[in-house]
Chains A and B, each alone.
Chain A
């Protein structure tokens, strides 16, 4: 059985080693043709997900995640092994990458105009991301925005969309033809599933986009769409709160985020209707209404 794979996920590449069938099946479902046999390609990071040894191979088996021979997390149950790999990939970039300013945020674009959607768990960010990605937008990332320092340019890092709890059923109804991973049950985030973005996002996976908006989304049941323009100082501080490597980059991070905020429109929105949000974004943020 082949256990070493190569994933070219611009701007990074990974060697992924696993012998866990569930991980391999999900990798094939989510990444399709991007997952190829490892054949000595140069890669940014070497990752592995394997079964824990000893008694844990039989009793409540566990998976271990390794990045470049280091084990940053305690093992998780084997049933969560694919989600563990995805989270491990996120951690790998967030913990090591200093070439870009990294914001914990979804990024989607219409053409070459992009919007950041920074938001905490439970805000409906990933459901909105999945909806836009399946309705004429392209996904640059669901989890992390990579901004070139000193610019308003975002670099795609196309990966699956991570959906949680009630969002799973909603997404399965909205995108019946979507490529979904297995559900990882009872994680620290609840039940979790990964959804592969549409092909257009994979195909444009090396095309940068220019930021024109920063929108903080909040899903709120039983409410009409409410839109609030954020002042730039508030928006800046919220971006700082969502920046992974701001404390490492310091001056570069500060000036980059200030530059970003000066060049974009900034909103906070409360919604329960995805189509209304899409209309607002296209009419007011992308085209400038």
Chain B
């Protein structure tokens, strides 16, 4: 599960109208909104984890790592 890479205390909700996901980092209180459904987000996270480190910054979910939603 790519969501295993989410930091402890990160909550995800995927909306039923397919408009995307929202995530809360309980540790920092920050909430993010992402135009991806849960399944799409998991694929993106998997891709991000497998990327060479030097090109991770170009990923459109790089901010999840910067904002401590993801741990590697």
Contacts and interface: CB of A to CB of B under 8 A. Distances in A.
B39 to A, nearest CB: 15
Interface string B8-45: 01010101110111101010010101010000000000
A237 B34 CA distance: 11
Interface residues of A, number: 16
B31 A231 contact: no
Contacts of A247: 29
A148 interface: no
Question: Chain B: interface secondary structure?
Answer: loop
Contacts of A250: 24, 26, 29
B24 A233 contact: no
Nearest to B24: A254
Interface size range on B against A: 10 to 19
A245 to B, nearest CB: 11
A236 B21 CA distance: 10
B19 A232 contact: yes
B19 A251 contact: no
Nearest to A263: B16
A247 B30 CA distance: 8
A231 B14 CA distance: 12
Contacts of B31: 237, 240, 246, 254
Nearest to B20: A233
B13 A255 contact: yes
A109 interface: no
Given A233-B21, A258-B13, 20 more contacts: A231-B15, A231-B17, A231-B19, A232-B15, A232-B17, A233-B20, A233-B22, A233-B33, A233-B35, A234-B33, A236-B13, A236-B15, A237-B22, A246-B31, A250-B24, A250-B26, A251-B9, A255-B13, A261-B15, A262-B15
30 contacts: A231-B15, A231-B19, A231-B20, A232-B15, A232-B19, A233-B20, A233-B21, A233-B22, A233-B35, A234-B19, A234-B33, A237-B22, A237-B31, A246-B31, A247-B29, A250-B26, A251-B9, A251-B11, A251-B24, A254-B11, A254-B13, A254-B22, A254-B24, A255-B11, A258-B13, A258-B15, A258-B22, A261-B15, A262-B15, A262-B16
Interface of A: 231-234, 236-237, 240, 246-247, 250-251, 254-255, 258, 261-262
